[in-house]
Amino acid sequence: MQNYLDGLQELWYKMGRVSVKNVSRVFTKKEENGGTEALHDVSFDVEDGEFICLLGPSGCGKTTLLRIIAGLETQTSGEITLNKVPITGPHPKRGMVFQQYSLFPWRTVIDNVTFGLEMQGINKAEARKHAEKYIDLVGLEQFKNSYPYELSGGMQQRAAIARALTNEPEVLLMDEPFGALDAQTRNILQDELLKIWEQKHVTFIFVTHSVDEAVVLSDRIVVMTARPGRIKEIVTVDLPRPRCRTSPEANRLRDHVLKLLEEERFHK
Amino acid sequence: MKNRFIKTIEENSIEAVSLIVAVAIWQLIADRIVQNKFLLPSFYDVVNSFTTIVESGLIFTDTLTSLVHFSIGIIAAFAIGIPLGIAMGWFRKANRAIDPVIEILRPIPPLAWIPFAIIWFGLARQAAGFVVFVGMVFPIIINTYTGFKNVPKVYVEAAKVLGCTRNLDLIRYIAIPSAMPSIVAGIRIAMGVGWMCLVAAEMFGVSDSGLGYQIWHNYYLHRMDFVLVYMLLLGFVGLLIDRFFRYYVDAKLLRWTSGTVV
């Protein structure tokens, strides 16, 4: 009975339903009146444990939307909730991996990964034990005592993923995390990310500008229009996993999404 | 042991030969051309004077006095300069409040404070320490401020999403380590300025002992060979302090930057 309750509690803690309702964001500058509208009336729901990709032409506000979900920016109107609770600021429940290398260069890999636990006041030995699990998960056991400058770009992003996961977030927000990597490293990291997603019950919201990446990774792709960003279409990717990158079905989907993006180019 | 010594000499042979030649030229010019101990003491004279002050023990008391002056200045400059720089770099309003005052005080040469140093502290260690402090505090404030201004935004945001949201924690865990290379650079500049101020303060009567004081004292006695000894001593002690500081900082504080271009 007790075990069952613990299990329920675990599930409860790890619910990650994100709901975006009529969100708009206007950037105002002092010199101009009105400002530029980055997001216009965006609404969609993300199911618990779902893998969602935000895809759109550059400057369409997908990163802005992600940053609002993270609590690093605020919307001009509308509301975003996580498990029905409105988002007001950053919180470790919503982990984030950035496009730029964001590991703290003055901390070793393991000290980076334990950072979130340290902030929660967990003692060092326990934090290290916990962090090591996640370092193993991303395959950096050998490099846990290295400084970030000693790691390649791919390894740095792996460590950043481990750092975000160690807080056991309900939602993991990823802002083009593999954007700066070469194609092969990218593919490897995508596969590893999917493995992690299957092992850990986490909701993923993943910003990308790569159609291939979106098709390989996501359950659904939220395709956005050019600025101001609106939702153009939400494409369901019902390909069986593990996915084959070159299957005819994948190609058909890619084709469809690319056409959507192309339309946006001509609108401009 | 002996082998290692020989090896070191072999590895640094060009540097060693260069030094020996410089000393030889100095000795030659002083002894054969100038032939006036007052105008230019020779290397031999200087070595003689050096042994005199070592034997009398004067060298130790004066070096110690100067180091005490320097320490008072550096501790005060740390205690005031770093917190001020942090406040200015992190809180915009603090910067707006403090900056005008600093911009007015900063261009005043530290030595101009000597009269007030004497009036406020008398002929005490603190007076010389105060002049050193004035020389050191501004480079420390400004470099701390610059380091804080240049903390990459992504580190602050990464910390925030990891649960580090209070200003105090962000300063302690993110901004200070990130700004450390800049703060350290400021301290090194400050140490150079402080060392100069120290000598000047001791010369102009803020103290009655110390390496700077001895230069002036021996000048009055027309013992130019002693003046030169104390000059060289000042150079060596300054060099040692800087080397020690750099060694400590590179090994401990800035190990993580060894792969980057600072």
Question: Could you tell me the residue ranges of all domains in chain B?
Answer: 1-35, 41-255
Touching A: B residues 144-163, CB under 8 Å: 154-155, 157-163
Tell me if chain B has a CB within 8 Å of the CB of A87. Answer: no
Question: Would you say A67 and A83 are in contact if contact means Cβ atoms under 8 Å apart?
Answer: no
Q: What is the CATH number of domain B41-255?
A: 1.10.3720.10
pLDDT of residue A12: 47
Domains of chain A with bracketed CATH = 16-93+169-268 (3.40.50.300), 101-168 (no CATH)
Q: How far is CA A75 from CA A71, A82, A180, in A?
A: 9, 15, 28
Q: Does B162 sit within 8 Å of A116, measured CB to CB?
A: yes
Closest CA in chain B for residue A90: B161
User: Which pLDDT tens digits describe chain B residue by residue (262 residues)?
Assistant: 567 777 777 788 888 899 999 999 999 999 899 888 889 999 999 999 999 999 998 999 999 999 999 999 999 999 999 999 999 999 999 999 999 999 999 999 999 999 999 999 988 889 999 999 999 999 999 999 999 999 999 999 999 999 999 999 999 999 999 999 999 999 999 999 999 999 999 988 778 889 999 999 999 999 999 999 999 999 999 999 999 998 888 877 777 876 554 4
Integer Cα distance of A208 and B235 in angstroms = 59
To which residue do tokens 């326990």 refer?
A: A126
Of B154, B164, B260, the CB nearest to A98: B154
Residue B15's contacts (CB-CB under 8 Å, 6 or more residues apart) are none
Give the distance from residue A201's alpha carbon to the nearest chain B alpha carbon, in angstroms.
19
Give the distance from residue B80's alpha carbon to the nearest chain A alpha carbon, in angstroms.
25
Low-confidence ranges of chain A (pLDDT < 50): 1, 9-12
* Pairing label, strands A51-55, A220-224: parallel
Q: Is residue A41 left, alpha or beta, with left meaning phi > 0 and alpha meaning psi from -120 to 50?
A: left
Tell me if chain B has a CB within 8 Å of the CB of A120. Answer: yes
User: What DSSP letter does each residue of chain B carry, written as one string?
Assistant: -HHHHHHHHHHTHHHHHHHHHHHHHHHHIIIIII--TTTS--HHHHHHHHHHHHHHTHHHHHHHHHHHHHHHHHHHHHHHHHHHHHHHHH-HHHHHHHHHHHHHHTTS-GGGGHHHHHHHH-SSHHHHHHHHHHHHHHHHHHHHHHHHHTS-HHHHHHHHHTT--SHHHHIIIIIHHHHHHHHHHHHHHHHHHHHHHHHHHHHTTS-SSSHHHHHHHHHHTT-HHHHHHHHHHHHHHHHHHHHHHHHHIIIIISGGGTTS--
Closest CA to B203 of B223, B224, B230: B230
Question: Would you say B165 and B96 are in contact if contact means Cβ atoms under 8 Å apart?
Answer: no
Q: Rounded to a whole number, what is the largest CA-CA distance in chain B?
A: 75
Tokens standing for residue A235: 């494409």
ipTM attached to this prediction: 0.89
- Three-state SS sequence of chain A: CHHHHHHHHHHHHCCCCEEEEEEEEEECCCCCCCCEEEEEEEEEEECCCCEEEEECCCCCCHHHHHHHHHCCCCCCEEEEEECCEECCCCCCCEEEECCCCCCCCCCCHHHHHCHHHHHCCCCHHHHHHHHHHHHHHCCCHHHCCCCHHHCCHHHHHHHHHHHHHHCCCCEEEEECCCCCCCHHHHHHHHHHHHHHHHHCCCEEEEEECCHHHHHHHCCEEEEECCCCECEEEEEECCCCCCCCCCCHHHHHHHHHHHHHHHHHHHHC
pLDDT of residue A177: 93
